[in-house]
Homo-oligomer: A and B are copies of this chain.
Amino acid sequence: MNDDRNAFFASVETLDMSEYVLLDYFFESSIDPVDAAAHLCQEQSTAQWCRVGVDEDLRPLHAAKVVDLVVERNPERPCLPFQIDHWEKLWDCRVKIAYPIRNIGASIPNLLTAACGEGAFYSPGIHAIKLHDIGFPAGYLEQFAGPKFGITGIREWTGIYNRPLFFGVIKPNIGLPPEPFRDLAYESWLGGLDVAKDDELIFDTEWSPFAKRTRLLGNARADAEQKTGKKCCYLANITDEVDRLIELHDIGVRNGANMLMINAMATGLSAARMVSRHTEVPLVAHFDCVAPLTKTPYYGLHSRVVTKLQRLAGFDAIIFAGMGSRMKTYRSAVLDDVHACLGSPSLDPGASPGAGAGPAIKPALPIPGGSQWAGSLQPLFQDIGSTDFAIVPGRAVFGHPDGPRAGAMSLHQGWDAVRAGVPLREYARHHRELEVSIRQNAG
């Protein structure tokens, strides 16, 4: 094996890293970690690297190669209860693998197959494995258009600068006909909501046909813009079978929906990339089907990988699991997702925001979601360290006891308090909508 396994190791100095994607895994092994890492590369690429009886070696150009391996002895029982012969021998490993781009091209399904396919999850001696990060050389990124608008484009689109954006999930939604649904959105726009959005569970249905819903809300949006003198946005959910996405995009945009949402992993990243090539309005990703891929600590994918891939696929804004006990997500993981939206998707994980990616891959607007209200603004602003984010409350706007207009106003009042450096409760003394919201949310 020694000769064999050496072909699956290299140093970044000797490889032309512009020809490789970098895959960063945690894995748990019950065999010699060096053998396990070599097996992993082999299973992911040139499993059988020569024909029987032919003197050839396909590995120099086509093998995945270990460029870093850190091993720690761990005598604990294995993370996953699969049948293991010798579980007294266990190692925790962190491995960086250079994966040849020539094997896969700039295709998301091909990349996913290489990074999260049979090879990664069924490699000999590896019982638990999680893809923690993924990095791309600049030339590879250039083959992805990335977000058409990005943060800068969304700010120009909405005319909102120097503060977080206020999205709001129109509620109730499931079962509500388009007319009252429209009335709720209209009220929220009058209160100053930036983006009234479809719930991720509202689709093109008999009781709320997409064409009718977008027409009514498109018209109401224009009325609200007339009345308020500022841009209002309706984010319509076009999630459906992929051969309907372009049709739904076109209907929505024609009817006045000026942002569109796709439940990215339920619909497929590649389908989203197709819509991104076509879209005339900002695209927003919702995080359905992400948790089962990402939530297990030692298995699957880190959510930052999913976020990076959504950005590559062309989402201008990405909603992911945010802070708060309901979201069951560590603060550090939320911030990892924020950085995946804002930072460089290049090989260098320490790159500063926007750097390295080149102008081709714009930063996406991070939207850490989950049970938010005016009081979520200060801690998020502090954690993220800039105004380049959005919140996406539902109940705090549309369940506000005084209605969606008051709910939307409470968000602005909350942000005004942050800007003024005044505690929320103090600011609320002279702002009734915020005061009611505090009672509703922080009772």
Contacts and interface: CB of A to CB of B under 8 A. Distances in A.
Contact of A287 (B118, B240, B267): B118
A381 interface: no
Nearest to A103: B174
Interface in A153-211: 171-176, 180, 184, 199-201, 203-207
A301 B295 contact: no
Interface string A382-403: 0000000000001100111111
Interface residues of A, number: 100
A174 to B, nearest CB: 5
Contact of A299 (B277, B292, B403): B292
Contact of A289 (B116, B242, B291, B401): B116
A172 B83 contact: no
Contact of A394 (B48, B102, B271): B48
Q: Is the interface of A mostly helix, strand, loop or mixed?
A: loop
B242 A274 contact: yes
A160 to B, nearest CB: 25
Contacts of A52: 398-403
Contacts of A329: 82
A424 B328 CA distance: 53
A44 B52 CA distance: 54
Nearest to A395: B48
B107 A240 contact: yes
Interface string A403-418: 1000000000000000
Interface string A35-51: 00000000011111111
Interface string A238-270: 011111000000000000000000010011111
A80 interface: yes
Given A172-B50, A295-B299, A239 B274 contact: no
A81 interface: yes
Contacts of A270: 241-243, 267-268, 271
A175 B58 contact: yes
Given A83-B328, A122-B328, 12 more contacts: A44-B201, A51-B180, A102-B205, A105-B203, A109-B263, A110-B240, A112-B288, A118-B288, A121-B291, A121-B292, A243-B277, A293-B300
